[in-house]
Amino acid sequence: MTQLWPAPVATGPVHATVPVPGSKSITNRALVLAALADGPSTLHAPLRSRDTELMAAALRALGATVSDGPAGSWQVTPAELRGPADVDCGLAGTVMRFVPPIAALAHGRITFDGDPQARKRPLSTVLDALRALGADIDGNALPFAVRGTGGLPGGAVTIDASASSQFVSGLLLSGARFAQGVTVVHDGEPVPSLPHIEMTVSMLRAAGVEVDDSERDTWRIAPGSIRALDVYVEPDLSNATPFLAAAAATGGTVTVPGWPEKTTQAGDAIRDILDRMGARVRRDGDGLTVTGPDELRPVDIDLHDVGELTPTVAALAALAPGRSQLRGIAHLRGHETDRLAALQSELTKLGGAVEQTEDGLLIEPRPLTGGTWHSYADHRMATAGAILGLKVPGIVVEDIATTSKTIPDFPGMWAQMLREAA
């Protein structure tokens, strides 16, 4: 049965320090590069969540060794890529988009499938691109199969990545192992979540891969080796945002330790967003501290590059005393669920006034009441319900366990935060 979780109400301002586990985006990119590297790699403080465990399992299925090391690290030893193998993608977009290029380098048939909701997610862009680069693939969505021949010619390919930056990153991560490397050209509406591509490029360069991104919407990866990694994984800044939002919503103070001074993570944008909504944001030492205002301010903001923060921002906007507009996020209709429709539906059921626009949401202030908040098997929808529950009694989040996709024990961390505030 789906777990129903009564969202705890904050009895006053939340004051807490909340350590956040490692970045999913960095962990899964590092796992891919390590599996394709010249020698053994070590990932220090990786995220251990459903998405990263699925990635590790996929790479093991293809022949790599991913084992536990000291202090929670992962040791990755590459090996000859081979099939037959079955890859479970779950709901992990990184697995279903980053692993097929690796499978094309393997010997044998590699089959991919995932959760029922994952079968609705767009995949034809990356699969058609791989076909154009020389891969043999059956299918255009989950389930599909890659018939690996031990290598891929590679070369130049033009795609429309306006639905997801992961289409670009997936091709770039394996591109150095293609015979001719790879040149990816985007042709379409602006690519969303560009910071994620910048993260991919930065990690490739750190692994010794030659990357040319000097031309707009064009990324060139030279063929060559990938250096073994010794990586310390930053805290996941996007996963930190619900906890920082708790401070903003309740007028409290929350500190997330280990916040990097410089980062390619999209979640770093929460600093500016919360500042615009009236919170006081400061980075002291290695921690980020947010102190909430007496009253949240509504916001008119373009979230195109940081769409993953939309559920958090929408929850806060629903608690603000004026009209908010969230723009540039039409691509969220193709995420774990249609996040725009989901947010509109769930906020409306609680008494909110939400309108979908062509590329986002209009949120009007209304008194909210309790009720069941459906997560749609979407971890960020679930955490948005928890944020609202701090201020609105009677909210019950359906399927809180879906947060394990990126946060191993979100309910426990949320409860601990509130215990510190008591």
Alpha-carbon distances, residue 148 vs 17, 138, 383 (angstroms):
48, 11, 39
- In the sheet that holds 287-291, the strands lie side by side as 15-17, 253-256, 287-291, 280-284
238 annotated binding-site participant = no
Contact criterion met (CB below 8 Å) for 38 and 226: yes
Active site residues: 308
379 annotated binding-site participant = no
pTM of the model: 0.91
25 annotated binding-site participant = yes
Cα–Cα dist 347/413, whole Å: 24
Q: Where are the domains of the chain?
A: 4-21+235-421, 24-232
What SS3 state is found at 371?
A: strand
Helix, strand, coil percentages for the chain (3-state, nearest 5):
40, 25, 40
Correct CATH for 4-21+235-421 of 3.65.10.10, 3.40.50.1970, 2.40.160.40, 3.30.1360.200: 3.65.10.10
Cα–Cα dist 62/108, whole Å: 10
Contact criterion met (CB below 8 Å) for 156 and 110: no
Averages of pLDDT over each 10 residues, the chain, 422 residues: 87 96 97 98 96 98 97 96 96 96 97 93 93 97 96 97 94 98 97 94 98 97 98 96 98 97 94 98 93 98 96 98 96 84 98 96 96 95 98 97 93 95 66
The tokens describing 4, both together, are: 């129903």
The tokens describing 122, both together, are: 């767009």
Helix or strand holding residue 327 (H, E): strand 324-327
Q: What is the end-to-end Cα distance of the chain in Å, rounded?
A: 32
The tokens describing 422, both together, are: 């008591």
Same fold, 4-21+235-421 and 24-232: yes
**Alpha helices in 251-361, H assignment, sequence order:** 270-276, 310-319, 339-349
Q: What is the per-residue pLDDT for 33? A: 98
Q: Calculate the CA 218 to chain-centre distance.
A: 23
CA dihedral 178, 125, 234, 20 (to 10 degrees): -150
Indicate the CATH number for domain 24-232: 3.65.10.10
Q: What is the per-residue pLDDT for 1? A: 46
164 annotated binding-site participant = yes
Contact criterion met (CB below 8 Å) for 5 and 410: no
The contacts of residue 116 (CB under 8 Å, 6+ apart) are: none
356 annotated binding-site participant = no
